[in-house]
Chains A and B, each alone.
Chain A
Amino acid sequence: MSFFTVTAIAILVSVALALTRAILGPTSYDRILAVNAIGTKTVLLIAVVGFMNGRPDFLDLAIVYALMNFIGTLAVLKYFKFGSLRGGLSRFHGEEK
């Protein structure tokens, strides 16, 4: 088996483990962490599958995913911290309940 295949299998197993944590996790922060980890591994998997199929154009897709993963995690944290998406991250510091 080529190294791409072995890497792809390892990444898939890792995604399944992270998904288990996302379903199980007792607090919501566990779930945020797990979805962030799934996003990072998706970036890896897209790059590896792209190389496996001989089409390195997929790297544009991987960049978009890394960006969306970051924005999604920040939005979720902002919602969780303040209950709204309006203010800046530092604006309401010191005014939480």
Chain B
Amino acid sequence: MEEFTSVFLMLLLVASALAVLYVRNLFVATMLLGAVSFIMALIFVTLDAVDVAFTEAAVGAGISTVLYLGTLALVGPHEKGSIKKPVLPLLLSLAVGGVLIYATFEMPIVGSPDTPVQQSRLTERFLVQSLDEIAVPNIVTSVLASYRGFDTFGETTVIFTAGIAVLLILSQVRIRRKEDLADGEVEDEQDSLEAQLAPQIKDTSAPSASPHDLIPHVVAKLLIPFVLLFGFYVQFHGDFGPGGGFQAGVIFAAGFILYSLVFGLEFTQKLLPLRVVEYGLAAGVLLYGGVGVVSMLLGGNFLDYNLLSADPVAGQHLGILLVELGVGITVTAAMVAIFYGFAGRSEVKKKNEVEAK
């Protein structure tokens, strides 16, 4: 039964991946990538890797689709045809793929007792002694946040860098009436854009409730508090079940993105201004690094949680709580910043194109 499920899911995965390659319209390819991500997470579930499936669900199926659509709104859904045939890249990818497939013949069977994972001393240390040293039921969280905490710090910094890079490259042209800008030229463009958009924005004090779109409004207002509450649950329940900072950050961002999809970007920027997002990006990484520096000041190594409290196990709990909180804040801020970057720019480009015609 297990083999049947795995083989069937992998056939579906290959079929949808091939379909992504062969369709010409990029929009259809985005939809099929969403289907690929769903099936990928199902495969992770059958392999009993719950945390990975959780992250794949949150990032791959939801947020990635939204961001791809934001990109397609900027560039249009058609590929530019290329004149020359890519023979050399095809040969190169076939060669690399062939070498990788040949290498998998040397790998041991999944679950057999003589794999390096089963025989390593680290495995026994993690599985047996983490319950004494850290006393957190979810061993994935204890490895991620405590035994390999320095590596997770690096991942958080990578997400922080990605958020900053998107904000710099797509430094958005903000359509706000009272904010003053650093650049004089951009201000003129701002005013003319405002003048262009002003007749279309009927009133900015409250969302207009046209009867045709009442249902998404009501449903979104019902759901968003529960989504944010579920984000908190995933954040703090990461010690006991699947969850943790990364997944919780994405779920928080999904709540804000849902609000923005239904009510508009302007209202979301009143609710969560760009400045707060920028501070949040930095605050998460500072919190994480701060925990490390505090433990150095208390006399131990960087990110040594045993010193944070009188009892080492309580210190570990406190350390894991704080660093997961830091990760969650940074991931939320980065996802929201990337969404602001893409969505905020698409309308400007459309107006510029309409002007140029």
Contacts and interface: CB of A to CB of B under 8 A. Distances in A.
A10 interface: no
Contacts of B25: 28
The residue among A28, A75, A78, A92 with the most chain B CB atoms within 10 A of its own CB is A75
Interface in B22-69: 25, 27-28, 30-32, 34-35, 38-39, 41-42, 45-46, 48, 50, 53-54, 57-58, 61-63, 65-66, 69
B236 to A, nearest CB: 13
A46 B42 contact: yes
A22 B265 CA distance: 30
A20 B249 CA distance: 34
Given A57-B241, A72-B34, A83-B350, A91 B227 contact: no
A57 B262 contact: no
A17 B213 CA distance: 31
Contact of B61 (A39, A55, A76, A87): A39
A83 B34 contact: no
B243 A71 contact: no
A84 B62 CA distance: 17
B216 A89 contact: yes
Interface string B201-236: 100000111101100110000000001001000100
Nearest to A42: B38
Given A72-B66, A89-B216, A79 B264 contact: no
Given A19-B12, A28-B28, A49-B45, A86 B65 contact: no
Interface in A44-94: 45-46, 49-50, 53, 55, 57-58, 60-61, 63-65, 67-72, 74-76, 78-79, 83-94
A58 B46 CA distance: 11
Nearest to A41: B38
A22 B35 contact: yes
A69 B34 CA distance: 9
Contacts of A70: 258
B28 A61 contact: no
Contacts of B346: 83-86
Contact of B54 (A9, A64, A79, A89): A64
B45 A71 contact: no
Given A16-B12, A58-B45, A61-B54, A89 B213 contact: yes
Contact of A85 (B9, B50, B70): B70
B72 A93 contact: no
B50 A61 contact: yes
B31 A31 contact: yes
A58 B45 CA distance: 8
Interface in B101-157: none
A63 B210 CA distance: 30
B280 interface: no
A15 B16 CA distance: 12
Contacts of B8: 12, 16
A5 B1 contact: yes
B302 interface: no
Contacts of B241: 57, 60
5 contacts: A61-B41, A65-B61, A68-B57, A84-B73, A84-B347
- Nearest first, the 7 A-B pairs at minimum CB distance are A68-B62, A88-B264, A90-B213, A84-B346, A86-B347, A85-B343, A75-B66
Interface of B: 1, 4-5, 8-9, 12, 15-16, 19, 25, 27-28, 30-32, 34-35, 38-39, 41-42, 45-46, 48, 50, 53-54, 57-58, 61-63, 65-66, 69-70, 72-73, 200-201, 207-210, 212-213, 216-217, 227, 230, 234, 237, 241-243, 247, 251, 254, 257-258, 260-265, 267, 342-344, 346-347, 350
Interface of A: 1, 5, 8-9, 12, 15-16, 19, 22-23, 28, 31-32, 34-35, 38-39, 42, 45-46, 49-50, 53, 55, 57-58, 60-61, 63-65, 67-72, 74-76, 78-79, 83-95
